[in-house]
Structure 1
Amino acid sequence: MTFDDITQQFEHSPNGSGTDAFLAVKDATRELMGSDPGNAAIYFLIYNFARSYVILHDDEPISTESANESKQQLLGYMKRLSAALGQGEAALLATASAVINEYMASKRPF
């Protein structure tokens, strides 16, 4: 499975699927770290976002609106990183840094 595949599966996961969709991202990116070690830092970033969401929200109710906002935020990061994966190390680093800076300025839902 590629990062593009994971991104598409997450995008098409049903709204309201809650932590299950984030858990699938976590597990899939963890596998990618081993099979594509050259991009492990990118996969680790998304893995940790998804992992944090699962830890924070697994045992607590969350509104559908909040869950969908979190999904869209993570999906946006994933799409940007996916597009940057084929553009060379400098573009990938710049995109990863932009994602981190954007996340730090957000409500940090995960």
Structure 2
Amino acid sequence: MHLKQIADAFEAAAPGTDAFLAVKDGTRALIARDPAHASAYYLLYGFARSYVLLHEDEGISPEFAEAARHQLLGYLRRIEAAVPLGPAVLLDVMNGVVRDHEAAPQAF
């Protein structure tokens, strides 16, 4: 599985913890299969893992779930586009994702 497949499946899934769990599992598998980009996958893994840990046993509104899905999907797509562009571009994109995440409401 590639990051694009993970992002496509996440985009097509219903918002909720199951979709985030699939991202968590998929990016964790990518860490082992593509160690050259492990830090990018780990960043995404951490976001998905946090969402699952924070929200798996609580009722959340559909609006909250959709906003969180939209946020993570944006991060997935940004990193997906940066991976083939080389380490410098990928690092810059990852730094931008972290800055964006820190400035956003914390869903995960």
| Percent identity for Structure 1 against Structure 2 | 48
In the alignment, the residues of structure 2 paired with residue 7 and residue 84 of structure 1 have an alpha-carbon distance, to the nearest angstrom, of: 14
- Look up the SS of the partner of 2:84 in the other structure: coil
Alignment of 1:1-110 (within 5 A): 1-15=1-15, 18-110=16-108
- Look up the SS of the partner of 2:60 in the other structure: coil
> What letter corresponds to residue 41 of structure 2 in structure 1?
Y
- Look up the SS of the partner of 1:29 in the other structure: helix
In the alignment, the residues of structure 1 paired with residue 14 and residue 23 of structure 2 have an alpha-carbon distance, to the nearest angstrom, of: 14
Q: CA deviation at 1:108?
A: 1.4
In the alignment, the residues of structure 1 paired with residue 27 and residue 75 of structure 2 have an alpha-carbon distance, to the nearest angstrom, of: 14
Q: CA deviation at 1:14?
A: 2.1
Q: CA deviation at 1:60?
A: 0.5
In the alignment, the residues of structure 1 paired with residue 2 and residue 86 of structure 2 have an alpha-carbon distance, to the nearest angstrom, of: 17
> What letter corresponds to residue 26 of structure 2 in structure 1?
A
Moved over 4 A (4+): none
How many corresponding residue pairs? 108
Choose between structure 1 and 2: higher helix proportion: 2
In the alignment, the residues of structure 2 paired with residue 85 and residue 99 of structure 1 have an alpha-carbon distance, to the nearest angstrom, of: 14
In the alignment, the residues of structure 2 paired with residue 27 and residue 78 of structure 1 have an alpha-carbon distance, to the nearest angstrom, of: 14
Provide the TM-score with structure 2 as the length reference: 0.98
RMSD value, Cα: 0.6
- Look up the SS of the partner of 1:59 in the other structure: coil
> What letter corresponds to residue 88 of structure 1 in structure 2?
G
